[in-house]
Chains A and B, each alone.
Chain A
Amino acid sequence: MRTRRRRLPGLAITVAIGLTLGLSACSSSSDASSTSSAASTDASAPAASAPASSAASEPTASEPTASGPITIGAFNFGESKILANLYAAALTSVGYEPTISELTNREVVEPALEKGEVQVVPEYLSTLAEFLNAKANGPDATPVASGDVDATLTALQNLAGPLGITILAPSPAADQNAFAVTKEFATTNGIATLSDLAAYSQKNPVTLGGPPECPTRPFCQPGLEKTYGLKVGDFVSLDAGGPLTKAALSQGKIDVGLVFSSDGGVAANDLVVLTDDKALQNADNIVAAVNTSALTPALESALDAVNSALTTDDLVQLNKAVDVDRGDPAAVAAAWLAQKGLFQ
């Protein structure tokens, strides 16, 4: 009995220490991450301020013919690097000397564009609109983005204009939430749109796969149920358009899964994206966001030429060439421009 009594407090102490360590580790890690992101924002600002001063003193903005150095900002993922390279090739063709600055996330990129530390950024229509909306009107602001491209563009231009940012014409290409099924499932049941899937699900409730937050997010399960009347029999929590969702689709563990419309891995896995025929998703078309002081007619026409030629299917192929086939973004971009006969 003596040993037993001695061991129980020991165990209790171990548990108490374990819990304390676990909880404190969690709280300190969240503190650390918030400070580190703040630090990176601060750090990036002075680092990128050198090109800003040169851009401000640059005479090109007032001249009709464009020339001189220009900086394109890119996010830290493959698609953004490809788009930045497409823009770089376009700007080179009209006389600019572009450099690509690979930044991190929108929290860093947007202020850099505003301050003129970068002059051009390949952006996403609705995502940027909501980012600026939250920045101007607080995190609980009424959403301004929707599935309507023109309405979202007007809202974005109204938010971006006062910040010294001009939004050029949106590309038909979009990278947004999409729902995919296997080719076999689509062919067997004659399903091409989300409305088709909703009709099918009335008799055969579907198994939906997506990120853990899908059952509570308006653009995921609740949106599918409300906008399309989709009958969801079961939800399987996986990842946001990542390898697990694609694997689960191929394995038949789920009928329909959340993916991204421009994901190069979708076609590679014999999956097809269903058409969002009732425009549930926000229109996240590619747009060029330009610092207004750097805007010239030559710059606008060069970027418009790229954006108007680019489709979501093109973007899928470009992403596949980089993410699946491991191509170099600059080489992949050059090959696409050659294929389209642009800026030759």
Chain B
Amino acid sequence: MSALQELVAWFTDPAQWTGSSGIPARLLQHALICAWAMAIAIAVALPAGLWLGHRHRWGTLVTSVGNLGRAIPTFALLIILASWEPVGVSDLAAVIALAVFAIPPILSNAYVGVRDVDTGATDAATGMGMTGRQVLWRVELPLSVPVVAAGIRTSTVQVVATATLAALVGGGGLGRFVVDGFGRQDPTLMFAGVVLVAITCVVVELVGSAVQRALTPRALRGGTVLGTF
């Protein structure tokens, strides 16, 4: 049987679709790890990026944090957290490591998106008597949605792909298939994991694009807006 046929046979085996190590259970674990990591990253990076962009300040800080965040090897951080007693070997180690990994694109895009809003628009808003907060919420934020959302979308896709690392420290998720497949010298299991992760990432990317489009004010939808990454 060819590798492809074995892969198809694996996916069509009903045993893979039930139980605590089946595809639905692993997908749910994967989604939960990613959701927690993204929730933490968004809660930290989004307000900070928006506010600093609004104030046009500390651009160097945002760039530094962004670059530093990208320079930290997620796998190394994961092992350190897993070996560290308060966190330990668990999904929590993966959630924290992934949150750190997810922060830079969100922070940079939120900062750049708000900072680069046309000063004509913000000056006009200020001239109409809006307070700083009103300018941020009613003018800068709607105008910067494409860039800010692109940061979150990029970050989400990266996190979904990288959450496979959780399996290396005893966690669950789709990485289980890859790590177990490697350990058991079962290439079919490993490739099934790779295919599942790739499909999940594409689906998340498509959903993210749709959400981003829905959030973008109608007047801005014409142009192609890509993230800075």
Docked CA distance A211–B183 (Å): 7
Give the CA-CA distance A11 to B167 in the complex, in Å.
28
* CB–CB B167/A247 < 8 A: no
Report B170 CB to chain A, min CB distance, Å: 4
By a CB distance below 8 angstroms, the chain B residues around A247 are 82-83, 88-89
Q: Contact between B184 and A244 (Cβ–Cβ < 8 Å)?
A: no
Q: Is the CB of A237 within 8 A of B202?
A: no
Knowing A3-B222, A237-B179, the reply to whether A248 touches B170 (Cβ < 8 A) is yes
Do A244 and B170 form a contact, CB below 8 Å, given A18-B198, A22-B194?
A: yes
Which of chain B's residues has its CB closest to A2's CB?
A: B222
Cβ–Cβ contact A243 & B83, under 8 A: yes
Say whether chain B's binding surface is mostly helix, strand, loop, or mixed: helix
Write out the residue numbers on chain A whose beta carbons fall within 8 Å of the beta carbon of B198.
15, 18-19, 22
- Chain B's interface size range is 20 to 34
Q: Is A326 an interface residue (CB 8 A)?
A: no
Whether B158 sits at the interface, judged by CB under 8 Å, is no
| Of the residues A18, A22, A26, A237, contact of B180 by C-beta under 8 Å | A237
Which of chain B's residues 147-169 have a Cβ closer than 8 Å to chain A?
Answer: 167, 169
Which of these, B89, B185, B213, contacts A253 with CB under 8 Å? B89
Complex CA distance for A19 and B223, rounded to whole angstroms: 28
Interface assignment of B224: CB less than 8 Å from any CB of chain A: yes
A236–B183 touching, CB < 8 Å: no
Which A residues are in CB contact (< 8 Å) with B194?
Answer: 22-23, 26
- Are B223's CB and A244's CB within 8 A? no
Residues of chain A within 8 A (CB-CB) of B191 are: 26
Contact between chains at B180 and A244 (CB < 8 Å): no
Q: For residue B209, which residues in chain A have a CB less than 8 angstroms away from its CB?
A: 7, 11
Interface: B54 (CB within 8 A): no
Tell me if B224 and A237 are in contact (CB < 8 A): no
Instruction: Specify which of B83, B90, B176, B194 lies most central, judged by the most chain A CB atoms within 10 Å of its CB.
Output: B83
Interface centre among B82, B89, B202, B213, by most chain A C-beta atoms within 10 angstroms, is B89
Q: For residue A12, which residue of chain B has the nearest CB?
A: B202
Tell me whether B182 and A212 are in contact (CB under 8 A): yes
* Closest CB pairs A-B (n = 8): A212-B183, A213-B183, A248-B89, A251-B88, A236-B170, A212-B180, A213-B184, A247-B83
